[in-house]
Structure 1
Amino acid sequence: MLVALISLAALAATVYALVRAVRAMDLDKKEARSRYLSAGLFLALQAFVGVYAAVGMVENDILSALVLNAVLSALSLASACAPQMKERLAAYLGPQGRFPHPLVGAIIFVLLGGAFATLALEVPSNHNLLWMYPLCLLLEWGIVTALLGGLFLIFQRRAGVPSVLALLFFVLGLAEHFVITFKSMPIAPGDLSALSTAMAVAGTGYSYILNPFCLYGMAFAALAVYALRLAALIAPRNQGDKRALVVNLLAGVLCIAGVGAHVTMVDYYNQLNIQVYTWRPLESYYRQGFLPSFISGAQTIKPPVPEGYNIGTAKDLMAEYAEEYDAAEGASIERQQASAQFGEKKPAIVTIMNETFADLSIYQNLHAGYEGPQFYKNIPDALQRGILYVSAYGGGTCNTEFEYLTGNSMAFLGSGTYPYTIYDLARTESLPKQFRDLGYKTTAIHPNHGTNWNRENVYKTLGFDQFLTIKDFQDAEKLRGMVTDAATYDAILEMLESDESPQFIFDVTMQNHSGYETGLVPFDKQVDYPIDGMSDPEVNEYLALIEESDRALKDFLAALRKLDREVIVVFFGDHQPFFPDRFNEQWFPGEDEAAHAERLWQTDYIIWANYDVAGRDQESSVDDLSTNYLGSAMMNLVGAPMTAWEKAHVMLRRDLPALNATGFEDKSLRWYLSSAATAPEDYPKGSPVAEAIAARENLAKMQYFMMFRDGKDIYTKVFQSAANETDPNLAPGTTKIK
């Protein structure tokens, strides 16, 4: 209420002072009305804040209210004194002052207006600009200023249209603030395809409260508008001067065109190193600025259309591969036995994507005698196990789960792309949809915020009935402040024991998340592996966590062995931690480039059952594959009904055993970087690599069809995340995804 009082009192005082000032000028009615109108925008902003605060929609911060109203009052009075201001500026900045041409002074104020407009965009959501990279801030200022300057010149040195753009930058910053408040996600390029949906749900369940930074942003927007007005006062249009009209128009068009050429021709991701790739995109936006991050994302989200692609060709390819599967693997006695058993028993399917679980003994035992997670490595009765080639390193968890749940590969989606936050996945197949159609209850678990990677929306789209988040693990056991693997396994066991219905459960653990210099691992759980005789606290903390994961997995599988129902477990790590690259560079010099890279982009997986799967040997047979194939491999092994997409995966692996965002493997088990696929003519026809490239091209066409169909309406929609409701049939505290 104090903000309302300050704003309304300031408005009244400003109006009073404005009326007195205009009357003192002894102007005719027309000129007096013009002076009042020139202050109208700033008075309107004051009135808006006062009324908005009076209804409780502005945080009660006195300092921001005082600053905003001081700025608005001052600008209102200054606007009413425009002729006097023009004379003073002309005397100081015009031809008789410091500059030979008034346009030079105008450019100074346009540059200043661009700076204020940039701050109006950033400040409402980005509260610590000192954390922002200076060059990114400079780049954003340059883009904003060029746009404002271009409009200023195109409209013949008038301030009206560029002022509207400056206000729109503030509105965009305000929208960013509200989107972050509601979704814990920044505005992504894909959201532009869902504006109609956003407008439809904008008034439902949301409170649009302005915080102090929103008020500061409004103050900067007002200063931007006034700076542009001063630019127009210094260098007004020369009436009737056609040459000046043409010059202004051409210069303005060049400014706008320059921005367009810059954002389309400069590769932000690779050339400027502006990348939205952290596990929480907000940090990228805070460090790099809204416009640079948004442009970088926009440049990378458009999936390339495979050469020769059309819907008919993709469907035919999938049908051909499916027919081959039905005639070969699908017709085998082993597969038929497993299928009959699956249809009868409908075993529970439990997938554990274990945070940063990897066997770092592949790095020459870390020069410390490290042998890796011992229980995991010595499970004797898995259906299948091996290396899992992933498309994430050091972070990017969501891309690994995307590949597993949908069977799509990041190999065709570009670097720095995160489908969960960009693409509309409603049309693509997914394991939870598939099992839900088979009569299974589908549950996702992630003991952290459901907004991370937009999961609360994506999981609904992918077919999960319910999603357990950190809210459901408030009293759970924690390690370093993170919910333990064991706590999530206990939740799974409770679901399996309390509900006999067939279930598909997907558990994304949190225990092993970086960083690894917290020092919070209890003494009795600590390990010490001196690397080349030197102890590394970061590595030791990570390895201690992996030992805890190994111990928890041992206890979980032991409990499942005693459980009186059939359960399939798929267990894998999402990516390696961020530090093994230094070991890779130091200890493996001079080796094949692709093999060298792939060592970083691999974890491990097992497919295990607590019962004898008919037709299958449970002797932990080894088969290295990539994450996009893992779901299909599991479905094939356990006898579950398979789609044509999954059957195609099984058959593709004859020529393309594995692929990820970094490279691909041929049937001779040799790895190639992804760039090799762009030059198939470099390899002999019929060679393993040529056949792998051909299979990769076929997979690209089928995947484009599975995800994008005709390439239209491919981006993320705005979901009604606030529409969740409690269902009495679910576990206590669990939210139902509507």
Structure 2
Amino acid sequence: MHYNLKKAFTYIFRYLMMPVLLEIIIESLSRKSLISGIGYMFSSPVLFSFNALIIMLTLSVALFFKREIFVFITVAVVWLCFGVANFVILHFRVTPFSAVDFTMINTAISVSGHYLTVLNVLMMVVAAGVLGFAMVSLYRRAPKHHKRNHKHIVVSVMAVASISLALVFMKSSSGSVQALATNYTNISEAYENYGFVYCFTNSIIDTGISEPDDYSEKSVKKIVNKLDDSSKNQSKSKNSDDKPNIIMIQLESFFDVDYMKNLKFSKDPLPVFHKLCKNYSSGLLKVPTVGAGTVNTEFEVLTGMRQRDFGVCEYPYKTVLKSTTSESVCNDLASIGYKSHCVHNNNATFYGRNTVFKNLGFDTFTSMEYMNGLKENLNGWVNDDVMVPQIIKTLDSTQGSDFTFGITVQSHGKYDVDIEGEQPIKVTGAKEGMENQYTYYVNQIAQVDNMIGNLINRLRKRNEKTILVLYGDHLPSLDISADELKNSDLYQTQYVIWDNFGLKKLDKDMAAYQLYSYVLGKAGIHEGLITRYHQQMDWNSNSYLSDLKTLEYDWFYGEKYAYNGQNEFVQSNLQMGTYPVTLEDVRKNKKGYIVKGKGFTDYTKIYFNGKSLEGYKIDAAHYQITDEIDYDADEGYMSLQYAKENGIVDEDIPNAFIAKVEDKDNVCLSAGKPLLWNFTTLYLD
């Protein structure tokens, strides 16, 4: 009897007290304060209990294993690791840790060098090694149940069922627990109010767009029939040559620092931007993220769809857009002859853009791997001045009108860097301990402002009608609170629309998903269902957002009733680089072989017979090969036409040179047309 009581007490402590202890630790890490973590237990007892019950349910899985102690501790360690990961992530960005971060591992690794020192990485490796060793030792040493009788299984099932019923009851009866049944607008506040465990679990379960209650062909057609499509073909009546070039630039972590109540500057850090806002249409822009999550703002701007209609913390770039095409500003403009380009001074695979942009209808994508003259700031991000000539190049690449989407990175965090020397702009009024970060950030966006001025000067010299849209993707990760802002909103940046043909100035606040249709409307363009929806519907009506969600669901997850059941948008044949890398000739020189061509950068590699040759770029037109080249006389000559007709891939064509562009991880982004040995100077020699 005494043994059974002791065993029962042990189970009660393990499965009741441990979840409570874990919840206190996790919430303390989330709030960066033990006192705040304990305070959450008393200030929000129902939500605290609900979070603890979720942990309890996951721990109770151990009841069904012979190695119960090992499984129990493993689950507990996983929760602790999640709590620590959230604690670390919150030091680098405002958005908390969520399930979607597991899909962003490659992206996180690619930018880790901007945030972590070698010592940080070493400590993480050591910690992971120690944890791994401890878990292996635990597996070997932990006790194991040799028999599981029916009574134990029944008790285990009843325990799990009871916890599940308790969760269901609390979810259905508590108004505070029901709060996350609908998407929330501030993820950070949701984690703070409703608890990390609850929100993190919800981010696992809640993905995609939920089906509207009244979804049917009739309900979709009702929305579509509200739209006047008489303007649909107006923009087709003229050749695209008569339409303006449209440039939209997404400025990384950019916002008007004059909105900070207490900051003072030795001189105006944004003179160009302020002058533009005074003379051209501008306003506040509601964005779906703060401190991080650039591509969710990007998604809204390019598609006209709301990111918050998707799952909690979801990145559509990492889910549905990886495999599904979509209506977008690119696809809408393509129908009237526009060509669409993207210019981004960061690596092409960041957020999987080199794949997603095919589904959004871009024709070309010029990432940093296709640029020369790259210079980095103290934080290792490429300076934005390289964007100007690359954007101009896209406009020169076609005869008709162009849509160019620029994505900058210079003002990206982190901002706690060692500033070298006295900065041009002195910043005062920053929070204690943040003076260095604000000084660095303000001087970075001052350089971005200068880039904007240079671009506008270049555009003014061109004899082409042009619209330039500038906007910030989100506030910087500078621990800004809403009460520090004049507009009191962490989810607002600013936009401005410059033009060179006299558009009327009209200041208007809007959301990121309304921006592109608004700009197209000013240009007299009304192509696309989503475009016309935003242009014609009352943004303040009760059905505006719900009907938009219905259209979004219909395209991505429904029957495409709005498009008569047809997939109107096909994947584009995305060309990497505004112009492809080309080879023209190869000849011998004293160092080996000199290659003549176009578009060479530091990311260009030359292959021969499928083998990568050692060498280096001299300039954009010349590449030095230092390897020996082994001509295979037995293979001889094969024409490109023969290879094409017989399905032979370029890499297998014998005695052929191929120029490839590869990123820093040796991922091949593109390969140029093969140059046969017989068509080079080497053959004549």
Place the TM-score, normalised by the shorter chain, in its bin: 0.5 to 0.7
- Answering whether residue 527 of structure 2 is matched by residue 630 of structure 1, we say no
Structure of higher CA gyration radius: 1
Instruction: Give the whole-Å Cα distance in 1 for the aligned partners of 2:448 and 2:268.
Output: 15
Structure 1 residues 737 and 308, CA, compared in 2 at 3 Å: closer, same or farther?
A: farther
How far the C-alpha of 1:498 sits from its partner, in A, is 5.0
| Residues 465 and 101 of structure 1: CA distance in aligned 2, closer, same or farther (over 3 Å) | farther
Residue 361 of structure 2: aligned partner: 463
Counterpart check, 1:322 vs 2:228: yes
Q: Is the 8 A contact 1:636 1:642 kept in 2?
A: no
TM-score by length of 1: 0.55
User: Identity of paired residues, percent?
Assistant: 19
Alignment of 1:273-312 (within 5 A): 295-312=201-218
Once the 2 structures are TM-superposed, how far is the Cα of residue 491 of structure 1 from its aligned partner?
Answer: 1.9
The one-letter code sitting in structure 2 at the alignment partner of 1:254 is M
Q: For residue 378 of structure 1, what is the aligned residue in structure 2? A: 275
User: Hey, what does 1:146 align to over in structure 2?
Assistant: 60
Q: CA deviation at 1:511?
A: 0.9
- The C-alpha deviation readout for 1:369-405, integer Å capped at 9, x for no partner, is 9767222222389774332222222322222111101
Q: What is the correspondence of 1:220-299 to structure 2 with a 5 Å cutoff?
A: 226=140, 230-233=143-146, 236-237=147-148, 245=150, 247-257=151-161, 295-299=201-205
Alignment correspondent of 1:349:
246
Helix, strand or coil at the partner of 2:145 = helix
Once residues 157 and 513 of structure 2 are traced to their aligned partners in structure 1, the CA distance between those partners, rounded to angstroms, is 47
- Inter-CA distance 562–475: structure 2 relative to 1 (3 Å threshold): closer
Q: Give the whole-Å Cα distance in 1 for the aligned partners of 2:186 and 2:283.
A: 31
CA separation in 1, counterparts of 2:343 and 2:163?
A: 44
Higher helix share: 1
What is the distance in 1 between the residues matched to 2:137 and 2:250?
51
Question: Residue 340 of structure 2: which of 433, 442, 446 is its match?
Answer: 442
5 Å-filtered alignment, 1:386-465, equals 386-413=283-310, 416-424=313-321, 426-436=324-334, 438-465=336-363
Alignment of 1:528-607 (within 5 A): 528-530=427-429, 536-579=435-478, 581-582=480-481, 584-585=482-483, 597=488, 599-607=489-497
Normalised TM-score (structure 2): 0.58
Partner of 1:517: 416
Deviations 1:284-309 (A, max 9, x none): 9xxx99x9886342244353444433
Q: 1:133 to 1:475 in 2, by over 3 A?
A: farther
Alpha-carbon contact 2:339-2:401 (below 8 Å) kept? yes
Mapped to 2, the partners of 1:227 and 1:602 lie a distance apart of: 55
For residues 131 and 54 of structure 2, the distance between their equivalents in structure 1, rounded to whole angstroms, comes to 16
1:647 aligns to 2:544 (yes or no): no
Structure 1's 697 and 186: CA in aligned 2 closer, same or farther, altered over 3 A?
Answer: closer
Against the structure 1 CA distance between its residues 447 and 490, is the aligned structure 2 distance closer, same or farther, given a 3 Å change threshold? same
The question of whether the paired residues in 2 share the 8 Å contact of 1:166 and 1:225 is answered with: no
Match of 1:321, SS state, is: coil
TM-aligned CA distance change 1:454 to 1:260, over 3 Å: farther
Report if aligned partners of 1:407, 1:430 keep a CA contact under 8 Å in 2. Answer: yes
| Equivalent in the alignment of 1:527 | 426
Q: Give the 3-state SS of the residue equivalent to 2:551 in structure 1.
A: helix
Question: Matched residues in 2 for 1:359 and 1:421: separation?
Answer: 30
Task: Tell me the matched-pair count.
Answer: 499
Distance, in Å, in 1 between the alignment partners of 2:228 and 2:421 is 52
* Cα RMSD for the two superposed structures: 5.4
Q: Which SS does the other structure have where 1:405 is aligned?
A: helix
Q: Map Cα deviations across residues 522-555 of structure 1 (whole Å, 9 max, x no partner).
A: 6353333456999943333322222212111011
Which residue is equivalent to 2:85? none
Deviation at 1:606, TM superposition (A): 2.5
Q: Is the 8 Å Cα contact of residues 528 and 535 (structure 1) preserved in structure 2? A: no
Cα deviation for residue 355 of structure 1 reads 0.9
Deviation at 1:146, TM superposition (A): 1.9
Displacement of 1:188 in angstroms is 4.5
1:478 aligns with 2:376: yes
Q: Which residue is 1:493 aligned to?
A: 392
2:411 alignment partner AA: N
CA contact (8 A) 1:445 1:467 kept: yes
Distance in 2 (alpha carbons) for counterparts of 1:215 and 1:371: 50
Tell me which of 537, 554, 562 is aligned to 1:705: 554
The corresponding residue for 2:680 is none
More strand by share: 2
Residue 75 of structure 1 corresponds to which residue in structure 2?
none
Tell me what 1:34 maps to. none
Deviates more, 1:525-534 or 1:560-569: 525-534
Could you list the runs of 5+ residues in structure 1 that have no partner in the other structure? Answer: 1-94, 119-128, 153-157, 174-184, 192-210, 238-243, 279-283, 589-595, 657-665, 667-691, 712-718
